[in-house]
Structure formats: C-alpha cells, structure tokens
Amino acid sequence: MAQLLLIEDDERVRTALMRSLRDLRHQVASAPDAMTGLRAAIDHRPDLVVLDLGLPDLDGSQMLRMLRGVSDVPVIVATARDDEDEIVRVLGSGADDYVVKPFTAKQLDARIQAVLRRVGTGPAAADPPVAVGPLRIDPRGRSAHLDGRALELSPKEFDLLHYLAARAGEVVAKRQLLTDVWDLPFGGADKTVDVHLAWLRRKLGETAQAPRFLHTVRGVGVKLVDPAGDAA
C-alpha cells in the first residue's frame, strides 16, 4: 500500500520484516546500514522510512539528521531496548514515531498507517473505503453498511470483513487470516476463523449453504465476492 524503506542491520530481522510487510501489501526496499540507507532514500523516494537504531556505522540521531537533510520523509524508529532517553532524543531529532523490539509486523503496520495518515502523504494516507456490490466498508470510521443499513460488527469481525473485502474475488487461506488479521504468525486454531465467519455470515444475512458474499473454498480458504459481479 505504501513505498517503504527499511534500514536494519540484522539480516534476520530485515528479511523477516520485509516478508511480512509485503504480505501486508507494502512495497519494501531495505538497506543494512546507514550509508546504503541514505542512498536508497535518495534513489527510491519512499513514503516512509523504518529506521533501526544501533546501526554499525552511524548513531540514530546523526542518521535522522542526514535523512532529514535528504527529504522530509516521515520516519519510524525501531529501538532494541526500552531506553526512554534515547526515544526522547530521537523524537526530538525529527522521528515521527517509534516501536520497541520485539514487535510484530502488524504492530509496525499500525504505526505506519497512523503516521502516514497524520502527515497526509503516501498512498496509505487514504486508507480508502472499500465497496463490494451492496457492501460498503469505511476503515476510517470502522463502519460497514449493507444495502445502506449499518452493520453492528465486533472488532475482529470488522477487521476480517475489511481484509476479505479488500481482496475481493481472491481466495485467502485461514492461516493467512490468522497471521494478517489475528496477528498470530505461528500458533492459532483455524476453527477460530470458522466461528467468526459464521458470525459474519449471520450478520450479512446469509448462510453457508446459500452464500451471498462469503464463499468457502473447500480445502483452501474463503473468498468474498460481489454477488452481482460475473468475476468470481
């Protein structure tokens, strides 16, 4: 959803984060050190930079100043330990937000969305409403309407519906839902997804036998389709 630049020296963390952020629909470039990161920031013009503190070649505040010299791209810093002084210093140097390790990709994504919305730049700033046939979903207001009538959804139900609606027509595996919606990259029981789907179906006024939006694809997952559209 947004062009990101990830500056992180630990290769393990870097590749894992890139992977997860791409799953969450971002375009991600990365750099292992400050100098490469600066060059990438100049070349790629990202919407936002995620900057790990404790880089080998430059300290965080210096790096921030150099970044700011290049552009006014918003920056989220990631700190290893919960060092209040450093956080204060870094926020004073122009960082827009911070996250403390360890954190999940979903948590970071939430910060990214918030920062982009606040600064009002980048594609993710919009977080646009989704419409699938008679179903309208407004992420900003966390409200959903079906045929003009408001749906009363629990938090998880809303997230699930939003996630599926944003990928309308595409089959999504339950495990994928557990990682992206539930933020459980490893554990978690598929059954939980089934239950929430059942609740959603009830509120959407449909049954599993006569689905309107939520079609289960046996052995694979579920997909949300426009009942009127031909494209399934």
Looking at 84, 85, 147, 230, which residue binds a copy of itself (CB under 8 A)? 230
Taking CB within 5 to 8 Å according to partner kind, which of a copy of itself, DNA, none is near residue 196? DNA
The span from the CA of 100 to the CA of 5, in Å, is 18
Helical (H) or strand (E) element with 64 = helix 60-70
Residues 188-217 that bind a copy of itself (CB under 8 A): 217
Under 8 Å CB-to-CB from 185, ≥6 apart: which residues? 20, 104, 105, 178, 179
Q: At residue 214, what are phi and psi to the nearest 5 degrees?
A: -90, 100
| Binding flag, residue 70, DNA (CB under 7 A) | no
Q: At residue 150, what are phi and psi to the nearest 5 degrees?
A: -70, 140
Q: At residue 115, what are phi and psi to the nearest 5 degrees?
A: -65, -45
**Minimum distance of DNA from residue 44's CB (angstroms):** 36
Taking CB within 5 to 8 Å according to partner kind, which of a copy of itself, DNA, none is near residue 70? none
Taking CB within 5 to 8 Å according to partner kind, which of DNA, a copy of itself, none is near residue 150? a copy of itself
Looking at 56, 141, 147, 191, which residue binds a copy of itself (CB under 8 A)? 141
Select from 34-42, 145-153, 177-185, 203-211 the region that touches a copy of itself (CB under 8 A). 145-153
Taking CB within 5 to 8 Å according to partner kind, which of DNA, a copy of itself, none is near residue 208? DNA
Count the site residues for a copy of itself by CB under 8 A. Answer: 38
Read off the amino acid at residue 128.
P
Give the x-and-dash track for 129-168 against DNA (CB under 7 A).
Answer: -------------------------xxxx-----------
Buried b (16+ CB within 10 A) or exposed e, 110-141: ebbbebbeeeebbebbeeebbebbebbbebee
Which residues of this chain interact with a copy of itself, rule CB under 8 A? Answer: 11-12, 15, 19, 22-23, 27, 68, 91-94, 96, 118-120, 138, 140-143, 145, 148, 150, 154-155, 169-171, 217-220, 223, 225, 230-232
